[in-house]
Amino acid sequence: MSSYSIAENFNQYFKIKFASTKELQQEAYKIRYGVYSEELGWEEPNPLHMESDECDKYAYHCLLEHRRTGVFAGCIRLVIPPAEDPEKKLPFEEHCLSSAKTEVLDTTTLPRGGFGEISRLAVLASFRRREKEKQVPFVLNDVNMDNMYSPEERRNFPNIAMGLYLSGLAMATIFNHVGLVVMMEPRLNRRLIRFGLPFEQIGDEMNYHGQRAMFFLAREKFDTELNDEIKKLYAILYDDLASQISLRKFSNNAEFNLPDIKLITP
């Protein structure tokens, strides 16, 4: 058993990369195609072998690179309305707003550009080895400080999905957002709570690639409840992303920032 901490072990095998170029963005689309189109059948096949949607034009992507091989193991995106068209809808606004519990949180009162939505988290099948993991886009295992590694071939790889979730959170922090939204299964939320990410359910469950609901995490809870090990991992990911991202103002009156890059779709 390695004596490394979760953060040290993760950093030994993986590094986070902000997808600031067309080529890197397309690497994310290829991972998504492999998972969402070929493996799960949630999206239609296409000759480009890249899965993309309208929101990618105003989304910011992260890739997780396996250091030894250079293979991109997984991806995640943070969708934010563009400064030039702030009324552009986030995915949950397009497909799931009818399920909103506005008495808990009315997302229409949040500042446009001041919050985003994490979505399209996907991990290559080669990094999800077990038979029961074949029909899910990613796996988020419980953290066991005494036995944190899988006994299978990739037992020395820390939890990839958690690193990607924390990377999405780091982007939201860098962009100075008031909070972020994610559509997920309630049982996944219970697991995230154990990691120290207390998302609040703000929508009723609905059938959206399975039973899912809208959840929100406020800025003041981004990292205050993370346990020490996960907080160290978050700090590594935050520092790595902050060094890769240059920011510009969302608008003249806004107090939050967005990366000064041009987003491209296939």
Q: What is the pLDDT of residue 232?
A: 94
Q: What is the pLDDT of residue 253?
A: 53
Domain at 6-244, CATH homologous superfamily: Gcn5-related N-acetyltransferase (GNAT) (3.40.630.30)
* pLDDT < 70 stretches in the chain: 1-4, 129-158, 250-255, 261-266
| Contact call for residues 138 and 161 (beta carbons, < 8 A) | yes
Q: Which residues pair with residue 79 across a beta bridge?
A: 59, 117
Q: What is the pLDDT of residue 254?
A: 61
Q: Locate the DSSP E strands across the chain.
A: 14-18, 59-66, 72-79, 115-123, 179-184, 200-201, 206-207, 211-218, 247-249, 257-259
> How many angstroms separate the CA atoms of 147 and 235, rounded?
23
Supply the pTM of this predicted model: 0.85
Interacting residues of 3 by C-beta distance below 8 A, sequence separation 6+: none
